[in-house]
Amino acid sequence: MLRIIRIITFSLIALTAFYLLVLQPQSKQEEQEVAIGGAFTLHTPEDETVTNDSLKGKLRLVYFGYTYCPDICPTALVAMQQASKNIGTDKISQVFITVDPARDTPEHLKEYAANFPGLVALTGSMEEVKEAARVYKIYFQKATESADDENYLVDHSSFIYLMDADGKYLAHFPHDINAQKLEAAIRAAI
Amino acid sequence: MFKPLMLGTLLTGFTLVSASLVMADGNTTLKVTDAWTTPALTKNGSLAVYMHVENTNEMPVSIIGAETGEAEHSMIHQTSTDKDGTSHMEHLMQLDIPANSSVDFKPGSTHVMLMGLKKQFKKGDSFPLTLEVEKGEPVQVQVEVRALEAKNQ
């Protein structure tokens, strides 16, 4: 009996070690290989085309959301705004990409962006928005639970991404990060 | 056999007494302080209202809705974010506040969602909002419009 227990215990230890040493590093490596960021084409409310290349030259904070999102989106944008101001808007740009192009018309988006000086607010056709979301690994989906056809919610990935001056991924932060912490985290990542 | 039965009778009796006490009391009210929101960012947009709600009663109290003449829809919402970073807002039909405890409505968590705003509120404005309470008087709240930066403190 004791022998069987010993064998089982040893097997478990061996299996755990095998998982930790061999399998897990591989899966972590795979995760890192899934690149965040890349080519996209979107438009400002003034109908200027913005691409991954046209934003190069400055660090960039990227957040996907929608203007009818009252709780977390403004919270994230306030943090982005304050952190960028302290780091220097000549060094870092703030990009907001709508996941609700149907309601976030250029006019509406322009009005919203005016609350956040320096914010590059972007929209496009649903296909263009979907492509930008795909390259940034952003999930979004109109919520089934909605007040009516005009007053709906959108579930969406809510990370704030930090990209380098070439548009390559550096780090991501939660939407509710405090502005001071975001600033410190950006400085640490660059 | 005897003991559980006696305990059951006692408990039933106790429940009946508690219930009648509540009935006699009539008004089950909540204490709401620090109700605030941010300026409207667009015309006809949405806003989230935050507040501190205290239940000083000896029994749980449930908020079953919210109402303001300033918006087409007012709902109690709960934001949650999963480990993959996807945020979702859930419409709460009922928010139970246990006896002698409080709930903070705060950014990224519970809030009253106002949709279809009729007015574009600015910092310094205020407006009335009513919380509907199950088996109790509605609670009138005055919501203060604070600076946008209040969201991220």
CA distance A153 to chain B (A): 8
The answer, for A137 touching chain B at a CB cutoff of 8 Å, is no
Q: Which of B45, B88, B108 sits opposite A155 (nearest CB)?
A: B88
The answer, for B77 touching chain A at a CB cutoff of 8 Å, is yes
> What SS3 class is residue A49?
strand
Q: Which of A34, A71, A112 to mutate to test the interface with B (most CBs of B within 10 A)?
A: A71
ipTM surpasses 0.85 = no
Q: What is the pLDDT of residue B21?
A: 37
Nearest CA in chain B to A155: B88
Do B38 and A158 make contact, defined as CB atoms within 8 angstroms? no
Sheet with A119-122: list strands edge to edge: A119-122, A92-98, A59-65, A160-163, A169-173
Q: What is the pLDDT of residue B107?
A: 95
Beta-bridge partner residues of A154: A142
Q: What is the pLDDT of residues A52-95, one digit of tens each?
A: 999 999 999 999 999 999 999 999 999 999 999 999 999 999 99
The answer, for A113 touching chain B at a CB cutoff of 8 Å, is no
The answer, for B42 touching chain A at a CB cutoff of 8 Å, is yes
Report d(CA B53, CA B105) in Å as an integer.
8
A96, A63 Cβ separation under 8 angstroms: yes
Q: What is the pLDDT of residue A4?
A: 63
The answer, for A150 touching chain B at a CB cutoff of 8 Å, is yes
Using 50, 70 and 90 to split pLDDT, how confident is the model at B13? very low
Using 50, 70 and 90 to split pLDDT, how confident is the model at B11? very low
The residue with greater pLDDT, A3 or B59, is: B59
Using 50, 70 and 90 to split pLDDT, how confident is the model at A33? low
The residue with greater pLDDT, A32 or B87, is: B87
Q: What is the pLDDT of residues B40-59, one digit of tens each?
A: 999 989 999 999 999 999 99
Which amino acid does the sequence have at B81?
Answer: T
- Mean pLDDT for chain A overall: 88
